[in-house]
Copies of this chain bind each other. A is one copy, B any other.
């Protein structure tokens, strides 16, 4: 509360020019003669003038900020997506605001509204559940929304990785290693990615002629390490003869939790239980037993999504919605590399 707002007007007065000229110095300096420019810049320095972004934005009608809503800021997978977004956004002079929905639709809607009220340049959304109806409303009111890590069902822009293929890759690998009793750890199943990876897993089993109800599903409350620990406890509690010999987890956080619990319970990985994760976060390779995981092009995902968003925002008329789908890749490590026939 020390000083009250120094505005362009004060600067103009101090430099002995009109406020329009100050604005020109700020935005199109080449239009102002060097002498005047210097005088204005000095006035700015002397008065400690700081541009008011709110006023700019009010005039411009939209902000220079992209909102990215993710399921979990603490998951390095999303941090990497954010990095990609930030890189691409910086090229166009845009900033990034990172929002954490914590997998909760209520929080997702809260942030969607917030971003719309802020007239965000655009919104990148990793949907928590079956997309909120708000999304469509927001789009219709003129704020572009691009789905990330999830294909759009309504023909809008989206960037995703084929999760069914990823699930298939993972389970095919396990079947090939001789596993027949396989478990899937992941949830909530309302999250599309979780459901798709499960579908891929089932498809792989079917293709191998294994009854897909042989797949034991552990529905978790969230996709973090704590839930992985819980699921691991449940798995370890099953008697050895009926226990799954392999576990496919919907993401690496869960996988690391399961892995940690196996060790605690005295079970050997991959001897007693093989584990496959998903995302190939940087910690997967550094795990107790380096984790086999399904890798997604994380940074690329963020970058491409941002490209689509920018195109949609700038060429509203000529823009063509696109659903970009990347292919995942299996990275095999020690957590699955001992052959075994049950």
B-contacting residues of A (Cβ < 8 Å)?
1-3, 5, 48, 50-55, 57-58, 61, 63, 73-74, 76, 79-80, 82-83, 86, 95, 97-98, 100, 114, 116-119, 137, 140-142, 225, 256-257, 259-260, 282-283, 285-290, 316-317
List B contacts of A63 (CB < 8 A).
54
Bound complex: CA A141 to CA B48 (Å): 8
From residue A245, how far is it (CB to closest CB) to chain B in Å? 21
| A283: B residues at CB distance < 8 A | 225, 256, 283, 286
Judging by beta carbons under 8 Å apart, are B97 and A53 in contact? no
Q: Which of B51, B52, B116, B140 contacts A2 (CB 8 A)?
A: B140
User: Cβ of B116 and Cβ of A50 under 8 Å apart?
Assistant: yes
A52-B119, A54-B119, A259-B286 given. 14 additional CB < 8 A pairs?
A: A1-B316, A2-B140, A48-B141, A50-B116, A54-B118, A58-B58, A73-B79, A74-B79, A74-B83, A97-B97, A256-B286, A286-B287, A286-B288, A287-B287
- A-B contacts, 18 of them at CB < 8 A, read A1-B142, A1-B317, A5-B61, A51-B117, A52-B117, A53-B114, A53-B119, A54-B63, A55-B58, A74-B79, A74-B282, A79-B79, A82-B100, A98-B98, A256-B286, A286-B287, A287-B287, A288-B290
Enumerate chain B residues within 8 angstroms of A86, measured Cβ to Cβ: 100
Residues of B within 8 A of A289 (CB): 288
Q: Report the Cα distance A287→B284, complex, angstroms.
A: 9
A1 to B139, CA, bound (A): 10
Which residue of chain B is the closest to A288 with respect to CB atoms?
B288
CB contact between A3 and one of B142, B260, B316 (< 8 Å): that residue: B142
Chain B residue at smallest Cβ distance from A79: B74
Nearest B residue (CB) for A59: B54
In the bound complex, how far is the Cα of B259 from the Cα of A290, in angstroms? Answer: 12
Whole-angstrom distance between the Cβ of A229 and the nearest chain B Cβ: 9
In contact, B50 and A58 (Cβ under 8 angstroms): no
CB-based contact B225/A286 at 8 Å:
yes
Rounded to whole angstroms, the CA-CA distance of A286 and B254 in the bound complex is 11
How close is A218's CB to chain B, nearest CB, in angstroms?
A: 18
The residues of B that contact A256 with a CB separation of less than 8 Å are 283, 286
Bound CA span A58–B63, Å: 13
CB distance from A204 to the nearest CB of B (A): 27
